[in-house]
């Protein structure tokens, strides 16, 4: 049975999500309706994809065909839209960041629980086969006692943010690349190593002149006692790198497919994993969870924790010192 879904937000990323599944029965969902802030820009695309373009989000929630919504809207709108969708009885897939404040994330989760609808958050790197291998090796103790982690997700996109774009507003992008990139790495570190309890963040502009930061770095303390370093650079060559250091070995993922293991003694290895469509994978997992299959593989507690870390990083950068994560 196909899940009928509406897309809210039909800019570049909303279209990426639609393109990953539309016209294929394998993912278990299809987009039947949508809304966007600038409908004139999306009209031709919506017609091409067989999506009924509705006037606003209220109209989307009132459409009896729509069983679930996918939110690719500005960050600051997410929590309110999740709550509205839940109250309308619609399942919700929401792009990251889930929210900008922990209290909003808690309220959104509570609304979905009360309504009995599935809530899924779009941290798509959780679906990478290389990440599954990392989790398996960590669970098996292959790295010994875990000591430290390094995470970096960077790229050049922020230079294209111009006046009038919502991503160029500091309230939507309070730490440069965090909303578009860095929050993915925060989730990855939570996924691999558990909750983060303290952050010490610095964020500033070294190059950009559009009002946004381009260099955001942080020290993390994990509940487990592991330490971590983090960076997201909003105008740099593309980089996805996460490394976990233990007493018996080092695991390092460079890009999405290249995983290396360096043992303290003996021969290490490097392994290349096949590329995959992680947007399609996350949407298919959402549809499966709605259909009563496996739970979506990102616990809502992790979703709330990611927002809490982001909020603490903003507070730390403003204060110029460490902050506890709520």
pLDDT at 120 over 90: yes
Output the pLDDT for position 258.
98
What does the pLDDT look like over 4-52, one tens digit per residue? 999 999 999 999 999 999 998 889 999 999 999 999 999 999 999 999 9
Q: Indicate the burial class of 199 (C-beta count within 10 angstroms; 0-12, 13-18, 19 or more).
A: buried
d(CA 208, CA 30): 39
Output the pLDDT for position 88.
98
What does the pLDDT look like over 57-85, one tens digit per residue? 999 999 999 999 999 999 999 999 999 99
User: Which CATH number among 3.30.360.10, 2.40.110.10, 2.60.40.420, 3.40.50.300 corresponds to the domain 127-324?
Assistant: 3.30.360.10
Q: How many CB atoms lie within 10 A of CB 291?
A: 14
Helix 129-139 × helix 182-193 angle, to 10°: 30
Mean pLDDT of the chain: 96
- Percentage of the chain lying above the pLDDT 90 cut: 92
β-bridge partners, 242: 151, 253
* Residue 279 to residues 16, 65, 122, 325, Cα–Cα distance (Å): 8, 23, 8, 29
What does the pLDDT look like over 140-178, one tens digit per residue? 999 999 999 999 999 998 877 877 777 778 888 899 999
The gap from C-alpha 255 to its chain's centroid, in whole angstroms, comes to: 16
Per the CB < 8 A criterion, the answer to whether 102 and 196 are in contact is no
Task: Determine whether domain 3-124 maps to CATH 3.30.1220.10.
Answer: no
Output the pLDDT for position 297.
97
pLDDT at 225 over 90: yes
Mean pLDDT of the 94-118 span: 97
Q: Provide CB contacts within 8 A for 140, sequence distance 6+.
A: none
Domain residue ranges of the chain, discontinuous segments joined by +: 3-124, 127-324
pLDDT band per the 50, 70, 90 thresholds, residue 103: very high
Write out the two tokens for 194: 């558990």
HEC readout, 270-300: EEECCCCCHHHHHHHHHHHHHCCCCCCCCCH
């Amino acid at each position: 049975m196909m899940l009928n879904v509406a897309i809210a937000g039909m800019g570049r990323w909303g279209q990426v999500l639609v393109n990953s599944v539309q016209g294929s029965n394998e993912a278990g969902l299809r987009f039947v309706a949508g809304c966007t802030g600038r409908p004139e820009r999306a009209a031709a695309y919506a017609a091409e994809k067989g999506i009924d373009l509705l006037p606003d989000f209220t109209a989307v929630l009132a459409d009896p065909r729509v069983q679930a919504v996918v939110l690719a809207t500005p960050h600051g709108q997410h929590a309110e839209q999740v709550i509205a969708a839940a109250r309308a009885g619609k399942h919700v897939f929401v792009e990251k960041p889930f929210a900008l404040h922990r209290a909003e994330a808690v309220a959104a989760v509570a609304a979905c629980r009360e309504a009995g609808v599935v809530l899924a958050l779009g941290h798509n790197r959780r679906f990478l086969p290389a990440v599954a291998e990392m989790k398996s090796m960590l669970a098996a103790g292959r790295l010994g006692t875990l000591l430290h982690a390094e995470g970096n997700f960077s790229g050049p996109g922020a230079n294209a943010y111009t006046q009038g774009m919502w991503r160029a507003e500091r309230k939507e992008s309070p730490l440069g690349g965090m909303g578009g990139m860095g929050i993915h790495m925060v989730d990855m570190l939570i996924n691999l190593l558990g909750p983060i309890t303290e952050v010490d963040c610095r964020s500033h502009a070294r190059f950009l002149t559009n009002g946004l930061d381009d260099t955001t770095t942080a020290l993390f303390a994990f509940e487990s006692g592991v330490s971590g370093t983090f960076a997201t650079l909003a105008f740099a060559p593309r980089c996805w790198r996460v490394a976990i250091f233990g007493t018996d070995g080092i695991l390092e993922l460079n890009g999405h497919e290249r995983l290396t293991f360096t043992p303290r003694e003996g021969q290490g290895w490097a392994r290349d994993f096949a590329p995959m469509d992680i947007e399609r994978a996350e949407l298919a997992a959402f549809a499966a969870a709605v259909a009563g299959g496996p739970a979506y593989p990102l616990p809502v507690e992790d979703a709330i924790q990611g927002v809490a870390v982001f909020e603490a990083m903003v507070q730390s950068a403003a204060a110029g010192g460490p902050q506890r994560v709520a």
